[in-house]
Amino acid sequence: MVDSIVSELTVNELRELIRTEVEQTFLDMLGDPDDGLELREDIKSRLERSLIHKQAGL
């Protein structure tokens, strides 16, 4: 899709292209506010339990 002409894109492809570009622009401007921070053990445990439940279909 990188070398596509805009007129050849579907509406969904154009939306995705715009979404991706806007997201990248925000990341470039603002950076990742969590960059360099460590995940607390209690939060890590909760995320792991959540993933296990999701995979089990609970």
Question: d(Cα 28, Cα 12) in Å, to the nearest integer?
Answer: 24
Whose tokens are 């969590």? That residue is 34
Q: What per-residue confidence (pLDDT) applies to 7?
A: 87
Q: Is the dihedral of CA 29, 30, 31, 36 positive or negative?
A: positive
Mean pLDDT by 10 residues, the chain (58 residues): 78 95 92 87 95 90
Question: d(Cα 37, Cα 53) in Å, to the nearest integer?
Answer: 26
Q: What per-residue confidence (pLDDT) applies to 15?
A: 96
Q: What per-residue confidence (pLDDT) applies to 38?
A: 92
10-22 per-residue burial string, b: 16 or more CB within 10 A, e: under 16? eeeeeeeeeeeee
Q: What per-residue confidence (pLDDT) applies to 6?
A: 87
Q: What per-residue confidence (pLDDT) applies to 47?
A: 94
Q: What is the pTM of this model?
A: 0.48
Q: What per-residue confidence (pLDDT) applies to 2?
A: 57
